[in-house]
Structure 1
Amino acid sequence: MKLRIAIAGTRGIPNQYGGFEQFAQCLSKGLVERGHLVTVYNTHDHPYQNNEWNGVEIIHRRDLKYLGTAGQFIYDLNCIRHARKRKFDVLVILGYTSSSVWGKWFPKKTVIVTNMDGMEWKRSKYSKPVQFFLRYAEKLAIRFSHYHIADSVAVKQYLESKYGEPVRFISYGSEIPSVVDDSILLRYGLAKDQYYLLIARMEPENNIEVILDGVHKRNDGKKTIVVGNTENKFGRAMKLKFVNDPHIVFVGAIYDRASLDSLRANCLLYFHGHSVGGTNPSLLEAMSCGAVICAHDNEFNRWVLGEDAYWFNDAAGIAALVTDQNKNASMAMANLEKIRKNHSWKKIIDEYESIFLNAY
């Protein structure tokens, strides 16, 4: 059966931002390859301005960024209003923060599938009133969606316990790169196994400051490469705090997957500090590259990695970290097997497609 499927809730594809954008890119391309008609909504000012990408229809809708957070709500409303006119069979909404309030305007004859993201109301960057709103938005997403997807078992259990509605667990996907181009190492003066790596959005709950405090105290002469857009308040604060440490290098945002894979594959240790949410895409991508991982100790990261990682809770834990070459190799191999077994894009697309087809 050929379905008309739309994907909303992201800034658009090809990915120039983050995890949901990468997900939309891989899911849409995979569904097109299976014969479905797929549309992805992009912001009006997305760097990619064509109306088609690898067989995926691209619809640009206005995003009033100058309004700040309010602009996100208007962008989502613009996408939903357009979707009402197109009469898609399925509308996949990635996240609920700025979309679920428009639930009464969701297309009536379209199956609504919402990826519930993580526990957004836990993010420390949000004030108490915003956290209250996010709990309300979460409730609306449950109410107005036909199918609810959680990307981690912990999130699934939380949602089912709170709302008494069935939630389907489907993880994020990743692929093991077939070739790794190491030329980017020359650009930053790096050598294999001689640097640490941190890739994250500059947000407090990603434990960036804890990690950098730890490597600063460790002071073992190895560079720590920090990949992420620092043009926000927290990012600027981190650059200022560590400006006098020559071993902590902020390189800004990098979206080229080949470059990121090379940095991951060649680092001595990959720091993953995410503490809120479900299965994090950047963690899976690090695992896919065979990186040895030191992760923040929480239920989300533990579910993905099991025992195949080093763990930290504070800066002292990072400063005191001792790695073992044999252990490193065994953990990396075990995590590669997890990607093959649990997180291949083929498996993820199979599971989403089964939901779409079973709805008809």
Structure 2
Amino acid sequence: MKIAVVGSRGVPATFGGIEKHCEEIYSRLVQMGHFVTIYARKGYIDNRINEYKGIKIKPLWTFKSKHLEATFHTFWALLHAVFSDADIIHFHAQGPCLFAWIPKLLSPNKKLIFTCHGIDWQRNKWNFLASNIIRLGEIFSATFFDTQITVSKSLEEYYRNKYSINPITIINGVTISSIKELELIKEKFGLNEKDYLLFVGRLVPEKAPHKLIEAYKQTKTEKKLVLVGGSASTDSYVAHLKDLAKDDKRIIFTSYLYGDELKEIYSNAYLYVSTSELEGLPLTLLEAMSYGIPVLSSPIPPHIEVIGKNEEYGYLFNSEKVSDIKEKLEFILSQPQLDLIKKGLKGQERIRTQHNWESITKKLEIVYNFTRRNKNSDKLTTTIKRRFALT
């Protein structure tokens, strides 16, 4: 089977959950005998790379603009994809769906599949016009596609309730990594084993690291707070965060980390914290749990799906208020370390059994095969879900 992928910046993944998702799934699909082309953005990847882990990479030029970059890249990618020999065009994220009419008009025999990674128009970085354009993309995502996929049950319910369609949930996965001893980050940032709390993600308003900083500053602890991440067209917000933290020497900004440095910083954290107010199914949370470290997260539906409403696999804030975040931080920091270790290991086992990339890829292959052979209908979706139960 031949699959064309739009909506990703490209692989290898160095930025963003969608890119990581695509790298993990499509490299495995190639190993299963399929042919995959990812349309990448020039400037995001090394333009000399035309293949990675068996995935064909097609870099395309686009404008360097917060509001135009993804839009124009999707347009060029689809003009190429509709005249390719692809059997399926797979869209990732809501924005690219604005152009779903192109393959419907120019290549109606190609099957269209969409994966929703989050409600993108709700992100704080968009102005009123951009938000409403992406909202139109959401409407198209529920209208023009043969099959819709969501990465969490809460997103599935959102689409079902709002658009009366029957999407399929294929959750994100994560690879269980071995613990990496301190070396690089100790030398670079002066960190020691289990002496810091960890936040990993883009520094954007909807992930609310400002609330974490405010709560942490009110918390009496010798443990440091390490924020791994950087701007995503949010330079003024990042400057605000650093200004907020400037009078507390315990707070460390590392910018983005990759490879061994990222593995080290996950491996040796005392606690992972996510204050995010908007997620699909966050890979950073799953990655933290895969290292066996305890996690503390905001009580949004995707986090509750992973951690459990009774906090079986981690900890949840009571609300997203700074006072509640501070209260929960103080509670966890007062717990015996053995209790935290047990909670972390329980979360790790959940990741090992339920968020395995191999089984997730097999489910996507089932979706491709059934969608390619059948017309879009609730019956098709029901058949796919029954097949999932057997895998």
TM-score, normalization by structure 1: 0.94
Aligned pairs (5 A) from 1:124-143? 124-143=124-143
Matched residues in 2 for 1:39 and 1:54: separation?
A: 12
3-state SS, counterpart of residue 322 of structure 1: helix
Mapped partners of 2:9, 2:179: distance in 1: 28
Query: Does structure 2 retain, via aligned residues, the 8 Å contact 1:193–1:266?
Result: yes
1:322 paired residue number? 331
Q: Is the 8 A contact 1:147 1:167 kept in 2?
A: yes
Match of 2:207 in 1: 206
The residue number in structure 1 matching 2:100 is 103
Please give the secondary structure, in 2, of the residue aligned with 1:225: strand
Where do 1:270-349 residues align within 5 Å? 270-306=272-308, 307=311, 308-312=313-317, 313-320=320-327, 321-323=330-332, 324=335, 325-349=337-361
Change (3 A) 1:46 1:180: same
Shift of the 82–181 alpha-carbon distance from structure 1 to 2, 3 Å rule, reads: farther
Q: Which residue of 1 aligns with 2:38?
A: 40
CA distance in 1 between counterparts of 2:36 and 2:250 reads 45
Displacement of 1:112 in angstroms is: 1.1
Cα pair 2:6 2:89 within 8 Å, conserved: yes
Question: Residues of 1 paired with 2:362 and 2:281: CA distance?
Answer: 18
Asked whether the 8 Å contact 2:9–2:40 carries over to 1, the reply is yes
Show the counterpart of 2:221.
220
- Contact kept, 8 Å, 1:172 with 1:279, in 2: the verdict is yes
Secondary structure at the aligned position of 2:248 is classed as: coil
Sort the Cα spacing of 1:124 and 1:191 in 2 relative to 1 into closer, same or farther, 3 A: same
Write the letter of the residue equivalent to 1:48. Answer: D
CA contact (8 A) 2:182 2:192 kept: no
Look up the equivalent residue of 2:323 and give its one-letter code. Answer: A
* Segments ≥4 residues shifted beyond 4 Å: none
How far apart are the structure 1 equivalents of 2:44 and 2:279?
26
Task: List alignment gaps of at least 5 residues for structure 1.
Answer: none
User: Secondary structure, in 3 states, of the residue corresponding to 1:303?
Assistant: helix
Give distance in 2, aligned partners of 1:326 and 1:178. Answer: 20
Unaligned segments of structure 2, at least 5 residues: 374-391
Instruction: Report the Cα distance in structure 2 between the residues aligned to 1:72 and 1:170, rounded to whole angstroms.
Output: 24
The code of the aligned residue for 2:300 comes to N
Percent of matched pairs sharing the same residue: 23
Q: Trace 1:155-166 onto structure 2 (pairs within 5 A).
A: 155-166=155-166
The Cα shift of 1:179 comes to 4.7
In the alignment, the residues of structure 2 paired with residue 327 and residue 279 of structure 1 have an alpha-carbon distance, to the nearest angstrom, of: 26
| Other structure's SS at 1:60 match | strand
Map 1:229-308 → 2, pairs under 5 A: 229-230=230-231, 232-256=235-259, 258-306=260-308, 307=311, 308=313
Range with greater deviation from structure 2 (104-113 or 292-301) = 104-113
Answer yes or no: is the 8 Å Cα contact 2:91–2:97 preserved in 1. no
> What residue is the counterpart of 1:120 in the other structure?
120
Cα distance between partner residues in 1 of 2:133 and 2:299: 28
